[in-house]
Amino acid sequence: MTGDVAVLGAGMHPWGKWGRGFVEYGVAAARAALADAGLEWRQVGSIVGADTVRGGYPGYVAGATFAKALGWQGARVTSLYAACASGAQAISTARAQILSGLADVVLVVGADAAPKGFFRPAGGDRPDDPDWLRFRVLGATNPTYFGLYARRRMAVHGDTLEDFAQVKVKNAALGALNANARYRKPVTAQEVAASPVVADPLRLLDICATSDGGAALVLSSMEFARRHGVAEPVRVRAVSTVTPRYPNPVLDLPDIATDSAVAVKPAAETFRASIARTAYEEAGIGAEDLSLAEVYDLSTALELQWYEDLGLCGEGEGAKLLRDGETAPGGRIPVNMSGGLASFGEAVPAQAVAQVCEVTWQLRGQAGDRQVAGARVGITANQGLFGHGSAVIAVR
C-alpha cells in the first residue's frame, strides 16, 4: 500500500479555441483550483507542470512558467513531458512528493493552446524520431491509427458504424451539460453519419478535435487536509504510469510496426489493460467497485476498446455494453460523464488532469446535471504517445 493523498481543489479554464496562450489557461485553472481548496498560492510548497510546446520549442518549462505567472514564491518546481499522459505523471510526481514528505501541498497544472487541425511533429529533418517518421514516410496522422483500430474492431468483434456513432451521441449529450466543455450541443447519429469521412471508417464526428484548455489540482497530505478542516476529502488512491511489455503486439501510435513476437510470446493482457490493472491493484479495488470512469475517447471506437481494457465487460463486448445503456447516465458504470474528449477536444498536457477534476466533482456530488448518484469510486484512463500509461483511481 502506498497511502492516499487528498484532492483539496480542482479547477479548469473552459476548453475551446480561445486564441490565447497556454499560460493564461493554466493560471486561470490554477487559481480556480486554489480557490476551490481555500488556499493561497503562497501556502503551496511545490508546483508540478505538464509541459506543452511554446512557439515550436518543446516546453520543459511549464512548472516554472506557471509559478512565475502566479508570482515567484520559492516553491519547489517540476516540469515534465509524457505526451497525453503528462497530466498523470504530474499527479504521480505530486503524490510521490507528498507521500515521501517532501511537500505538504502541491499544485498540479496542465494547459495547452493546441494548433488547428492534425497534430504534427516539430519541424526539421528528424529521422531518429518515430513520430516524425510516421508522418514523413506514411502520412499517418493520429486519425489513421484510430481508423485502423475501428476497422479492426468491426472485423473482429462485429462493431458497427452505428455503435461508434452512439458513443458520440452519448458523450455530446453529456458535454451539453458541462460549462467547461468546448462542444455543448447534442449530436444525433444522423449527424455523425452525415459528417465527412476522415479516416475510413471514422467520420469527423467520431474523432476528437484539438482544443485550448487548462486544468489544475491541489493535492495534499491527508494530515494537511485534516488540519485544513477537510475531514473527508476525495482521495487519490492509485496512479498507474506503466509502460508496455515486450513484445507489444498492438500497433500503437506513433509506431510504423509492432514488436516481433518471434522470441517471446506476448502477454495475454494488452498494454491498455495493464494500465488499468496496475491502478486496480494499487488501489485494492476492482472494476466492479467503480461508480464511473473517464476514458480517453480520442475516437468513438476507442471508447469501446477502453470498456474492455478497464474490465467493464469482456473482450469484444464493448458495443453491447453501450447498446445496453450501461455506460450512459443511470447505467451500471457511466463513462465520460464530463462529455469526454468528444466534447472537450485535446489539450494534451491538461487532459489527464481534467479527467481527475471531473472525477473529483463527481465524488463530491458537485457535478450538477451530470452527477452520478452516490458516486464513491472513479477511474480515469488514458494513454500517452511513446508508451506512457495513465490511470488514476480516486475514492470518497
Partner 1 sequence: MVMGWFAGDGDDFRLLGTRCSTCASVFFPREDVHCRHPGCAGGDLQEVALSRRGRIWSYTDSRYRPPSPYVTDSELPWEPYALIAVELESERMVVLGQAAPGVTVADLAVGMEVEVVPGVLHEDAETIWTTWHWRPTGVAV
Interacting residue ranges for partner 1, rule: CB under 8 A: 117-118, 120-121, 123, 125, 127, 132-141, 144, 147-152, 155-156, 196-202, 246-247, 249, 251, 256-264
Please report how close the Cβ of residue 253 comes to partner 1 at its closest, in angstroms.
11
- Which residues have CB under 8 Å from 4's CB, separation 6+? 222, 235, 236, 237, 395
Question: Whole-angstrom Cα distance, residue 114 to residue 84?
Answer: 13
5, 102 Cβ separation under 8 angstroms: no
CA distances from residue 120 to 199, 264, 339 in whole angstroms, order as listed: 16, 33, 25
Q: Which is nearer to partner 1, 113 or 202 (CB)?
A: 202
Identify which of 364, 293, 362, 360 has the alpha carbon closest to the alpha carbon of residue 91: 360
Please report how close the Cβ of residue 199 comes to partner 1 at its closest, in angstroms.
5
Please report how close the Cβ of residue 388 comes to partner 1 at its closest, in angstroms.
17
Question: Whole-angstrom Cα distance, residue 254 to residue 259?
Answer: 13
Q: Which is nearer to partner 1, 174 or 209 (CB)?
A: 209
Identify which of 327, 300, 299 has the alpha carbon closest to the alpha carbon of residue 313: 327
C-alpha cell read off for 365: 456530488
Please report how close the Cβ of residue 185 comes to partner 1 at its closest, in angstroms.
23
Q: Rg (Cα) of the chain, in Å, rounded?
A: 20
Q: Which is nearer to partner 1, 136 or 364 (CB)?
A: 136
| Residues composing the chain | 396
Please report how close the Cβ of residue 385 comes to partner 1 at its closest, in angstroms.
15
Q: Which is nearer to partner 1, 132 or 296 (CB)?
A: 132
Q: Which is nearer to partner 1, 54 or 152 (CB)?
A: 152
Q: Which is nearer to partner 1, 101 or 123 (CB)?
A: 123
158, 135 Cβ separation under 8 angstroms: no
Region of 71 please: left (phi>0), alpha (psi -120 to 50) or beta.
left
Please report how close the Cβ of residue 55 comes to partner 1 at its closest, in angstroms.
17
CA distances from residue 22 to 57, 234, 310, 377, 387 in whole angstroms, order as listed: 13, 28, 32, 31, 25
Q: Which is nearer to partner 1, 35 or 156 (CB)?
A: 156
Please report how close the Cβ of residue 125 comes to partner 1 at its closest, in angstroms.
8
Residue 190: how many other CB atoms lie within 10 Å: 10
Helix segments in 53-106, DSSP class H = 62-70, 86-100
DSSP assignment, residue 335?
Answer: B
Please report how close the Cβ of residue 48 comes to partner 1 at its closest, in angstroms.
29
Please report how close the Cβ of residue 301 comes to partner 1 at its closest, in angstroms.
11
Residue 331: how many other CB atoms lie within 10 Å: 16
Question: What are the residues facing 292 on neighbouring strands?
Answer: 378
Please report how close the Cβ of residue 153 comes to partner 1 at its closest, in angstroms.
9
Q: What are phi and psi of 384, to 5 degrees?
A: -100, 145
Question: Whole-angstrom Cα distance, residue 45 to residue 23?
Answer: 20
Q: Which is nearer to partner 1, 110 or 244 (CB)?
A: 244
Q: Which is nearer to partner 1, 139 or 374 (CB)?
A: 139
**Cis amide leading into 254 (omega within 30):** yes
Question: Whole-angstrom Cα distance, residue 291 to residue 379?
Answer: 9
Q: Which is nearer to partner 1, 19 or 117 (CB)?
A: 117
